[in-house]
Structure 1
Amino acid sequence: MKDKLNQWTEANKPQKAADYFINRMAFTIGPGDLFDEMKKNKDDVNIIDVRNEEDFKKGHIPGAINLPEEKWHTLSGLNKDLMNVIYCYSVECHLAAKAAAQFAKSGFHVMELQGGYDRWKEKNFKIETEE
């Protein structure tokens, strides 16, 4: 166990951890903060749903644009003049992080919605459907 602790402490230096968490806060937004931002500055945020089209139609964050993985290469719906908030299914889903990395490499401002669509629904925030 002591060897494992030494590995962890060596890999996880306090400054490295501080840098990680500062960056994490800069590139993620919680559902409550996004909801507030949408109420205050609706035109300053661009919401991108990277879930599949079928799930998007069943329900999504109001105003979100669907951009499933097979269409990421098109960059359709992204806006270089706005903050693009990317979300997927849940906290366990890594599609949003993967998409955000790809979109950032293409020059877009991005943030990831923490907890994804599941967390948004848990907070009982409004959703839109296309069914």
Structure 2
Amino acid sequence: MTTTTPTSAVLSVPAAAPAVAAAHFAARLAFEADVSDVHADLEAGVPGLVVVDTRSEAAWAQGRVPGAVHIPTARIAELAPGLIAPGSTVVTYCWGPGCNGATRAALAFAGLGHPVKEMLGGFEYWVREGFPFDSAQGPEQRPVDDLTAPRSGISCAC
């Protein structure tokens, strides 16, 4: 009987050496934060952290992270110096994972000399994880999307 070893799509490119992988993942964490961690820091009142919504006026009115500062990406160079204290760590967000507006905004803030991280998932995942948000109509909150967070609303503890 002849057995065939299956071809691996995952291993067709070998995994990086552990030290290389550690450097890569540490670097990613230096550039990115998830919505749960941003929410936890805002709830805890962590000093020196400024969350910036980089979307349009219409998007801002539709909904935003409570306490976020609104600076559309195209206006960061103009408005940030008057709104963001020097040395503050900026966390940028835009619509969601299909939008690179937060990435562009993070680049602009880095160019202004700010430590900066991008909030993965953007406003979409903030809402989908059941966190409260502000809109032109006032405070709102939607049920947790169980494809993004536990139905219980308790942290996934990942």
TM-score (norm 1): 0.82
User: RCO (CA 8 Å, sep 6+): is it higher in 1 or 2?
Assistant: 1
The answer to whether structure 1 residue 35 and structure 2 residue 39 are counterparts is: yes
Unaligned runs of 5+ in 2: 1-10, 138-158
Match of 2:24 in 1: 20
Counterpart mapping for 1:1-131 below 5 A? 13-14=16-17, 16-76=20-80, 77-131=83-137
User: Where do 4+ consecutive residues of structure 1 move more than 4 Å?
Assistant: none
Distance 1:20 1:97 in 2: 18
Distance 1:60 1:31 in 2: 13
Secondary structure, counterpart of 1:128 in structure 2? strand
Distance 2:78 2:98 in 1: 25
CA contact (8 A) 2:54 2:72 kept: yes
Moved more, 68-77 or 94-103: 68-77
TM-score (norm 2): 0.69
Q: How far is 1:20 from its partner?
A: 2.6
Distance 1:119 1:107 in 2: 28
Pick the structure with greater CA Rg: 2
Distance 2:85 2:115 in 1: 8
CA contact (8 A) 2:77 2:112 kept: no
> Quick check: which one's helix share is greater?
1
CA contact (8 A) 1:80 1:109 kept: no
Residues 20-42 of structure 1: CA distance to partner in whole angstroms, max 9, x if unpaired? 32111112111111111111125
Count of equivalent residues: 125
Unaligned runs of 5+ in 1: none
Q: How far is 1:18 from its partner?
A: 3.6
